């Protein structure tokens, strides 16, 4: 839509529409009410601040490796966002084609998200690895494509892989973190990822200049392969933890009789305290 609008209206109108969409999103979020933890928790000093999230994140080998994998992946993927405009220009597809690049990723990510929710928690480990590998395949296709339609296909495929992987990652993170620090752990992980992502934009221009526009996508594919390689031992560690009963920190607080999740294994409370 953005690419088409730019062809008919002043770009400032598109920014105003974008601002209106953010305002509508804020209103929708504000309308959501409810409790989002299994039990009421109190914020002790050890649970306060983002440092508590970093302590837990660094103390959990599975979450630590997942974060490292995505840092590596995003460091390689960031430059392709800078390369999208010159890529569209190289195929002479104008603003509409540039919009289709982002739209194809978005459509794929939506499809991947719905696919991810249908896979279930038992397949999350495989989905995580397949997600990074799938993004690598999609970026590699873009890196060698000679037709713009093939580029869009590769972008959509990479988006599908990313969408499914994001669902799997969120499931793993939420089950491995207790209520008291879950938001801090997610904040710590997102901070690490966004720092890597932002830094990648800075060195994108020399990468595009040296490797070329499509070569930048091949570098992103290589980074995705590296992320998949990191995820393999991480997911093996997760499988071993699940076999040993160390699978669900969400239910680490005391539960009442008849709790629907009472049969779910938990991370021992003393282990959580040690991590914090």
Burial class (CB in 10 A: 0-12, 13-18, 19+), 183: middle
Q: What is the DSSP string of 101-114?
A: HHHHHHHHHHHHHH
- In terms of phi and psi (left: phi > 0; alpha: psi -120 to 50; beta: otherwise), the region of 50 is alpha
Check whether 259 has a pLDDT greater than 50: no
Check whether 216 has a pLDDT greater than 60: yes
Check whether 122 has a pLDDT greater than 70: yes
Tokens of 92: 């002479």
pTM of the model: 0.78
3-class DSSP state for residue 259? coil
DSSP state of 122: G
Question: Which of 33-42, 135-144, 156-165 comes out lowest in average pLDDT?
Answer: 33-42
Which residue has better confidence, 111 or 258? Answer: 111
CATH class of 96-251+264-276: mainly alpha
pLDDT, mean of residues 120-143: 91
Instruction: Measure the CA–CA gap between 210 and 179, rounded to whole angstroms.
Output: 47
Quote the distance between the C-alpha of residue 228 and its chain's center. Answer: 14
How confident is the model at residue 35, as a pLDDT? 78
Instruction: Measure the CA–CA gap between 17 and 157, rounded to whole angstroms.
Output: 28
Burial 41-62 (b: 16+ CB within 10 A, else e): eeeeeebeeeebbbbbbeebeb
CB distance 97 to 91 below 8 Å: yes
How confident is the model at residue 270, as a pLDDT? 44
Instruction: Measure the CA–CA gap between 186 and 144, rounded to whole angstroms.
Output: 36
pLDDT, mean of residues 258-262: 40
Per-residue pLDDT reduced to its tens digit, 165-205: 999 999 899 888 888 888 899 999 999 999 999 999 999 99
Mean pLDDT of all residues belonging to the chain? 84
- Structural domain spans, the chain: 96-251+264-276
How confident is the model at residue 41, as a pLDDT? 54
Per-residue pLDDT reduced to its tens digit, 223-257: 999 999 999 998 888 887 766 555 454 444 433 33
At residue 258 the predicted structure's pLDDT band, cuts being 50, 70 and 90, is very low
Check whether 76 has a pLDDT greater than 90: yes
Instruction: Measure the CA–CA gap between 159 and 250, rounded to whole angstroms.
Output: 29
């Amino acid at each position: 839509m953005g690419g088409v609008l730019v062809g008919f209206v002043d770009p400032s109108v598109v920014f105003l529409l974008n601002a209106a969409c953010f305002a509508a999103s804020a209103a929708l979020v504000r309308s959501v009410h409810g409790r989002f933890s299994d039990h009421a928790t109190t914020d002790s000093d050890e649970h306060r601040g983002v440092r508590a999230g970093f302590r837990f994140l660094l103390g959990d080998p599975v979450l630590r490796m997942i974060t490292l994998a995505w840092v590596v992946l995003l460091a390689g993927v960031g430059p392709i966002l800078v390369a999208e405009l010159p890529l569209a220009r190289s195929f002479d597809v104008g603003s509409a084609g540039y919009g289709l690049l982002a739209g194809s990723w978005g459509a794929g990510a939506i499809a991947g998200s719905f696919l991810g929710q249908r896979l279930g928690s038992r397949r999350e480990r495989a989905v995580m690895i397949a997600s990074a590998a799938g993004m690598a395949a999609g970026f590699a296709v873009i890196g060698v494509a000679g037709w713009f339609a093939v580029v869009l296909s590769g972008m959509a495929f990479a988006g599908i892989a990313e969408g499914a992987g994001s669902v799997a990652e969120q499931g793993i993170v939420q089950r491995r973190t207790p209520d008291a620090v879950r938001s801090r752990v997610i904040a710590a992980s997102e901070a690490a990822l966004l720092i890597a992502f932002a830094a990648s934009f800075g060195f994108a221009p020399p990468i595009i200049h040296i490797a070329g526009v499509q070569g930048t996508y091949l570098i992103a594919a290589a980074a995705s392969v590296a992320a998949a390689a990191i995820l393999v031992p991480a997911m093996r560690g997760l499988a071993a933890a699940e076999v040993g009963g160390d699978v669900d920190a969400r239910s680490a607080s005391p539960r009442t009789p008849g709790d629907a999740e009472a049969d779910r294994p938990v991370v021992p409370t003393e282990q959580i305290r040690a991590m914090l």
